[in-house]
């Protein structure tokens, strides 16, 4: 792949990473880069991006139904009440990634976020969205960064508030997935115009 937008099976140009599986095509076309709001929805994305760290996104995407079932649809108030028995259940659940540090971070983050005011997570995350007018439109995958000043600032803000597993790369992946930035390539049909 050249890194430029490429034609999918339907002839539409897409970001080349989206063409390797049908799951990716659907995720790329219908979700990635679209604005996501709401504390629970953002908690889910933040948690899944943390679980993805060191793995391919397709692994997480294919297990997302299992994650949702295991983590009470990522409802912050529900996950915040999980007990040691729930933790043990999660660490034995083959439908998710059974990484102790990531499970513990998700539970700790939920407990912390349950103390925040409604909308506070949404406001904090979206306050780090860069001005679209100042961002160059990526032409190839080489033009898409892994970390930006904004993702570094978001990571620091989340860590300062006590959240875990929120490094700058994870923060940037969250920004991409939740539409804070539009990293669909210039010729991609999914790019917001």
Q: What is the pLDDT of residues 165-175, one digit of tens each?
A: 999 999 999 99
Annotated catalytic residue, options 24, 44, 49, 126: 49
Q: Please check the confidence at residue 193 and state whether its pLDDT lies above 80.
A: no
44 is catalytic: no
24 is catalytic: no
Distance separating alpha carbons of residues 119 and 105, to the nearest angstrom: 21
Annotated catalytic residue, options 17, 31, 57, 116: 57
Q: Could you give the percent of the chain with pLDDT greater than 90?
A: 94
Using a cut of 0.75, tell me whether the model's pTM lies above it.
Answer: yes
CB-CB contact of 154 with 136 (8 Å):
no
17 is catalytic: no
Distance separating alpha carbons of residues 174 and 192, to the nearest angstrom: 18
Annotated catalytic residue, options 27, 31, 116, 186: 27
Nearest partner of 174 among 16, 63, 32, judged by Cα: 32
């Amino acid at each position: 792949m050249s890194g430029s937008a490429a034609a999918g099976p339907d002839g539409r140009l897409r970001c080349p990473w989206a063409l390797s599986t049908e799951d990716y095509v659907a995720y790329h076309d219908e979700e990635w880069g679209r604005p996501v709001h709401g504390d629970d929805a953002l908690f889910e994305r933040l948690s899944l991006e943390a679980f993805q760290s060191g793995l391919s996104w397709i692994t997480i995407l294919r297990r997302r139904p299992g994650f949702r079932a295991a983590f009470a649809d990522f409802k912050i108030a529900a996950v915040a009440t999980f007990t040691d028995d729930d933790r043990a259940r999660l660490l034995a659940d083959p439908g998710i990634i059974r990484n102790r540090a990531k499970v513990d971070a998700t539970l700790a983050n939920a407990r912390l976020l349950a103390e925040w005011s409604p909308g506070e997570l949404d406001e904090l995350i979206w306050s780090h969205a860069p001005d679209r007018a100042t961002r160059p439109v990526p032409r190839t995958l080489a033009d898409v960064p892994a970390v930006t000043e904004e993702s570094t600032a978001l990571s620091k803000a989340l860590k300062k508030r006590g959240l875990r597993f929120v490094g700058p790369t994870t923060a940037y992946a969250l920004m991409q997935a939740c539409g804070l930035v539009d990293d669909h390539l210039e010729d991609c049909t999914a790019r917001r115009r």
